[in-house]
């Protein structure tokens, strides 16, 4: 049994990984500021599910509502706790919004990370998995992308902050013997995916009978990686660090099967059972042309071996989406909550009227 500190773990990937760690028998302390980059109610729901899993498995799960920019808070957390390892997902994570608000991206992703590294250094906590991104490759022309490729040409503030994070991590490794892995995730999808990301957005639009906005001619491509594979790779990295000293390394975690935007829309349309109506729009600044991972380094050192191909992953995502959102706002869970809250005091007619109000128009 180990005890880990996780940042940003109320979000999509961090909450999924939390479940896995609790099931493996570990205790967790989690920091998240529940920001409103997307609906914080989704993060609250993730946390409710994770708490239930902690209870079921008899593990300790401590949630701290706080901010990476709060250096004093981070120092206090490390002064009061001993951790076997840290995974840091907390970040402003959007490419396009980072162009509008670069300062916040630098404050959270660079200063916030520095606060974490400082707190770890001060309190002698040595093992960190830092979550970076394939965005650092910018418009790399050589495919697949290898960790050896130069990453000095990011094309969004978001990518620049992730590159800065990797460089800071190396500095702390060199100066203070911290063991650190930087994991470059390639576009992650699956249940709980952020609503701003393509697969979630396209599924919603198709189910609502709306047009699909396609930026560019549909030839841009992404190496989509299923969330369970990403979580597996991340935990392999964490456990590797626990067993090794003198480590700083960077790993691509991808799926190595890029798909074009046009083909992706077709796959989702087929799964949802709706013929997509596409509205072609200009390419967005900050968006790279392609991502394509060479994950042989992660395979060799960590044993990372992604299993879920895009068709299967989309199938699982759409299944989850239908269950989650059903025909009602808040999905079937929302209706059960509603009934639980109302049946005592309302008549059947009133309950039915409430349900009618909750229906997605």
Q: Which residue is nearest to ligand NAD (CB)?
A: 11
Binding of ligand NAD at residue 133 (CB under 6 A)?
yes
- Please state, in angstroms and rounded to a whole number, the distance separating the CA atoms of residues 127 and 277: 48
Cβ nearer to ligand NAD, comparing 125 with 136: 136
Binding piece for ligand NAD, criterion CB under 6 A, among 180-188, 237-245, 265-273, 284-292: 180-188
Identify the sign of the CA torsion 129, 130, 131, 135: negative
The residue count for binding ligand NAD (CB under 6 A) is: 30
What number of other Cβ atoms are within 10 A of residue 75's Cβ?
15
Cβ nearer to ligand NAD, comparing 133 with 203: 133
Cβ nearer to ligand NAD, comparing 241 with 338: 241
The H or E element containing residue 348 is helix 348-358
94: nearest Cα among 176, 15, 31, 162: 162
- Which of 4, 11, 198, 235 contacts ligand NAD by CB under 6 A? 11
What number of other Cβ atoms are within 10 A of residue 186's Cβ?
26
Binding of ligand NAD at residue 33 (CB under 6 A)?
yes
- Which of 108, 155, 214, 265 contacts ligand NAD by CB under 6 A? 108
Whole-number minimum distance, CB 343 to ligand NAD, in Å? 33
258 with 292: CB under 8 angstroms? yes
- Which of 4, 5, 10, 198 contacts ligand NAD by CB under 6 A? 10
158 is catalytic: yes
Whole-number minimum distance, CB 25 to ligand NAD, in Å? 23
Identify the sign of the CA torsion 241, 244, 249, 251: negative
Question: Is the N-terminal amide bond of 178 cis, ω within 30° of 0?
Answer: no
Q: Which two tokens stand for residue 266?
A: 């077709």
Whole-number minimum distance, CB 192 to ligand NAD, in Å? 8
Whole-number minimum distance, CB 359 to ligand NAD, in Å? 27
**DSSP letter string, 77-124:** HHHH---SEEEE--S---HHHHHH-HHHHHIIIIIIHHHHHHHHHHTT
Catalytic residue, from 61, 105, 137, 158: name it.
158
117: nearest Cα among 160, 171, 162, 164: 171
Strands 221-222 and 259-260: antiparallel
Binding of ligand NAD at residue 220 (CB under 6 A)?
no
Whole-number minimum distance, CB 226 to ligand NAD, in Å? 11
Positions 66 through 95 that interact with ligand NAD (CB under 6 A) = 67-69, 89-93
Positions 182 through 211 that interact with ligand NAD (CB under 6 A) = 185, 187-188, 194
What number of other Cβ atoms are within 10 A of residue 204's Cβ?
14
Binding of ligand NAD at residue 338 (CB under 6 A)?
no
Binding of ligand NAD at residue 17 (CB under 6 A)?
no
Using DSSP, state whether 145 is helix, strand or coil.
strand
Whole-number minimum distance, CB 85 to ligand NAD, in Å? 17
Binding site for ligand NAD (CB under 6 A): 7-8, 10-14, 31-35, 37, 43, 67-69, 89-93, 108, 112, 131, 133, 185, 187-188, 194
Active site residues per annotation: 158
């Amino acid at each position: 049994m180990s005890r880990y500190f996780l940042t940003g773990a109320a979000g999509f990937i961090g909450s999924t990984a939390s479940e896995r760690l609790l099931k493996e028998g570990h205790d967790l302390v989690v920091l998240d500021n529940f920001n409103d980059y997307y609906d914080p109610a989704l993060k609250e729901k993730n946390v409710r599910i994770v708490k239930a899993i902690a209870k079921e498995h008899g593990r300790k799960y401590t949630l701290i509502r706080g901010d990476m920019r709060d250096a004093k808070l981070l120092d206090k957390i490390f002064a009061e706790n001993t951790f076997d390892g840290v995974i840091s997902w907390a970040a402003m994570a959007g490419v396009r919004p980072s162009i509008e608000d670069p300062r916040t991206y630098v404050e959270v992703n660079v200063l916030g990370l520095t606060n974490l590294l400082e707190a770890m250094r001060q309190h002698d906590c040595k093992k960190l998995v830092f979550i970076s991104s394939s965005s650092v490759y910018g418009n790399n022309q050589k495919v697949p992308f290898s960790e050896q490729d130069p990453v000095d040409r990011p094309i969004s503030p978001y990518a620049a902050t992730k590159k800065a994070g990797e460089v800071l991590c190396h500095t702390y490794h060199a100066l203070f013997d911290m063991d650190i892995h930087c994991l470059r995730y390639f576009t992650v999808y699956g249940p709980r995916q952020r609503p701003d990301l393509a697969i979630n957005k396209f599924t919603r639009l198709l189910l609502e009978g709306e047009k699909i906005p396609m930026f560019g001619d549909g030839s841009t491509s992404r190496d989509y990686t299923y969330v369970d594979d990403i979580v597996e790779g991340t935990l392999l990295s964490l456990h590797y660090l626990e067993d090794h000293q003198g480590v700083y390394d960077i790993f691509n975690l991808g799926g190595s099967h890029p798909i074009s935007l046009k083909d992706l829309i077709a796959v989702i349309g087929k799964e949802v059972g709706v013929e997509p109506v596409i509205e072609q729009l200009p390419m967005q600044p900050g968006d790279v042309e392609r991502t394509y991972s060479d994950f042989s380094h992660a395979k060799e050192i960590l044993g990372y071996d992604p299993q879920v191909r895009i068709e299967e992953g989309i199938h699982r995502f759409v299944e989850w989406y239908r269950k989650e959102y059903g025909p009602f706002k808040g999905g079937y869970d929302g209706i059960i909550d509603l009934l639980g809250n109302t049946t005592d005091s309302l008549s059947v007619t009133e309950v039915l009227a409430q349900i009618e109000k909750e229906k997605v128009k």
